[in-house]
Amino acid sequence: MSDRDPLSEIERAFDVLGDQFGVAAGTVPTDVIDDGDSFVVRADLPGYDSDDIDVQLAEGRTLTISADRTEEGEVSDGSFVQRERRRQSVSRAVSLPEPVTESETAASYEDGVLTVTLPKATDDESGTDIPVN
């Protein structure tokens, strides 16, 4: 019997590919778009539910996106039982080039893509939590 763990080898291959293409494991691929009056941040979070996602804005300029999920599975075949648990967490902090109006921010999650709209502000405000619909 071999001591090789094929899942670990696959994860290591993804890490190598991510390093080559500039996407580190455990981070969230993100686009930041300047839409004139607002910034639109789109983040790829496939496989998560909206309840798994936390979006926060600090000091009107730093958007933090984090997601956490746990999966459990059990397979039974005669006397052999296999039980697996997996927990996955990702996060990303995005510094915005200008302050935004926190009270007018909005977030939605559809088809694995989180979209956060942040209207630009003229004055600094304190941090707030942004609910995800």
Q: In degrees, to the nearest 5, what angle opens at C-alpha 16 toward C-alphas 1 and 55? A: 110
Q: 4 versus 119: which is more confidently predicted?
A: 119
H or E segment and range at residue 18: helix 6-21
Q: What is the mean pLDDT of residues 61-81?
A: 81
**Rounded CA separation 36/120 (Å):** 8
pTM for the model stands at: 0.67
Q: Which domains does the chain have, with CATH numbers?
A: 26-130 (2.60.40.790)
pLDDT value at position 124?
A: 46
pLDDT in tens, 72-121: 777 777 676 777 777 888 889 999 999 999 889 999 999 999 999 999 98
